[in-house]
Each structure stands twice: as structure tokens, then as C-alpha cells.
Amino acid sequence: MTYYHSISTAINVCLSGKRKFLSLESYFISLFSNKYIGDDAVNIDKTIYSKDAFFEDVHFKKEWISYKQVAQKAMFVNISDAIAMGAKPKYALLSVAMPKTISKKEMKELADGFKNIAKEYGIEIIGGDTISNTKLDITITIISHAKRVLYRKGLRDGYLLAYTGHLGSSAKELKKLFNLGKIHKKSKFVDIQLRETFIQRALPYLKAGMDISDGLFSDLEKMTALNRVGVKFLHSIANSTGCSGEEYEMLVAFDKRDRKALLRRAAQSRTELNIFAKVSRNRYKNRCRAHHF
């Protein structure tokens, strides 16, 4: 999840003792380090658990989008984590902190947004919590099932790297909103197109993967750091493309021998697949400003 309004000054590197971290966020996560942490979601016996937050004045402003759109996007960004692991979401737990000034009509808009996306993906909302707050803050837990789990780990020298869809539009739409402009209801900022069909069809050929939530370059840094490898770009990618967060496309790795098979799966699911780099032994350094703290 990308933080557009960081609660602290963004830092690219944090040092703690002799160990180097990508950010204070990665340092904090390391304090809970165990065998389950490090991917988009947690796999326990092929039951996949994921949780993400969607907070007012952190991820969105109330003036930008409707209550229904807020709920829908909160669902999308959480479902994306399940899909990134090769899982099919089944259940959702909602925690919604609402301002005391919220009306019944606005509550219904929120509920409709949650229910619409849940129905679209075959998810049953089974519970959660509601509390009073000064603003609208949402956290969602998604429980999914997977026959085969796709992890971030698994990169090897020579593997090809690709991303789905088109990157960069989410940042452009965000800029419009900051400039008090309006965005279309089909804007990628609110109407996210997840890649579940492609991932399910391509799973036999994928060696590693993750969703692109913090931007291609930032998420590539996470994946390469975890695997202790680097990348060699096959062509240049503009910062406006590589640094755009909240895209929720997929970053995947595969063996070059499976290139034709993977491109066929992409065509079958009408998914644009952009092969942009290959795994190498050099060190990769992200050149984007940190979204988190």
C-alpha cells in the first residue's frame, strides 16, 4: 500500500547496528521477523491471510471520491494481495472507523461499495468491527485459498522480469486530484483492474511475483533485496512509469524458456505483458522517493 501523505520524512535507507534496511517501515517489520512475513500475504497450509489499511488523509481525501468508491478501492487493494499469491479470496473481515458526523445514507454507500466488490469476487463478508473516529479509516482482512502459492522469493540469474498492463496513470490521476481536478469514474485510481485470470493461467510458469502497489521500481527493490540479486534492464523506463504507486498490476519473474507459453497465457486473458528486465548478479538501487516512512 502506498502512502501519499507520509507521517514522517521519507528516508531511503535506515541503519540499525550493522544491518541495512530499505526504510523505517522495513526496520519495524523486521522486529516481528518470522518465517511467515515477507510476502504480499501469509500462507499457512495453503490458506492465505492478507490485511491492508485504507485511511482518510493518508491514502485518500474525502473530497476526492465518494463513500462507495472508498469502500470499493479498500476492497480492491486487499484482494490484490491474495491474487498476487495465486490465491482465490473467500472471506473478508472489515474494520471501519467512522466519523460521528457520517449519515445513514453515507453508511449505506460504504456498505454497497464493500458488497459490490465482494460479490464480484465471490467473497463473503463474515464480520469485523466498527468504531467512532474523527475520520474514515478502513482495514480489511482477506482469507483466501490457494492450490499453488506464488512467492516473492525464487529469482535466479537469467530469469526474465515483466509487469502487466500500463503503469503511470495512477500518479497522473493523483496529481489531478491534488490540483483540485476531477477524475473519471473509470480512472485507474478508483477502478482497479486486477489480474486474477492471467495469474491463475500463468501460475505453472511463474517463478516469483508480487503486486505493484508502491511502484515498479520500489517493489522491484523489495523483490531483488529479498532474493539478493540485481537486474539488467532491457530498455529504459521513465520515472513517471516506474515510480507510480497504487497501480496494482503484477510484477512477475519466469524462465526465458517459458517466454512463449507465458505470452500465450497473457493473450488468452487479454493481459498486456511487458518484459522489461532480466535477473542479474549486480546490485539494484531504487531511484524513487520512498512512499512509506
* Tens digits of residue pLDDT in 66-121: 999 999 999 999 999 999 999 999 999 999 999 999 999 999 999 999 999 999 99
Mean pLDDT of 259-284: 96
Which residue ranges make up each domain of the chain? 38-145, 160-280
Nearest to 292 by CA among 27, 17, 65, 50: 27
CA distance 270 to 212: 19
Residue 119 pLDDT: 97
Phi, psi (5° rounding) for residue 71? -65, -40
* Residues 160-280, CATH architecture: Alpha-Beta Complex (3.90)
Q: Is the pLDDT of residue 235 over 60?
A: yes
Which sign, positive or negative, has the C-alpha torsion 54, 59, 63, 65? negative
Fold of 38-145: 60s Ribosomal Protein L30; Chain: A; (3.30.1330)
Nearest to 86 by CA among 205, 4, 175: 205
Residue 7 pLDDT: 28
Contact of 136 with 93, CB cutoff 8 Å: no
Mean pLDDT of 223-230: 94
Other beta carbons less than 10 A from residue 14's beta carbon: 17
Pairing relation of β-strands 124-133 and 88-99? parallel
Q: Is the pLDDT of residue 144 over 70?
A: yes
CA distance 51 to 56: 17
Residue 128 pLDDT: 94
Residue 47 pLDDT: 95
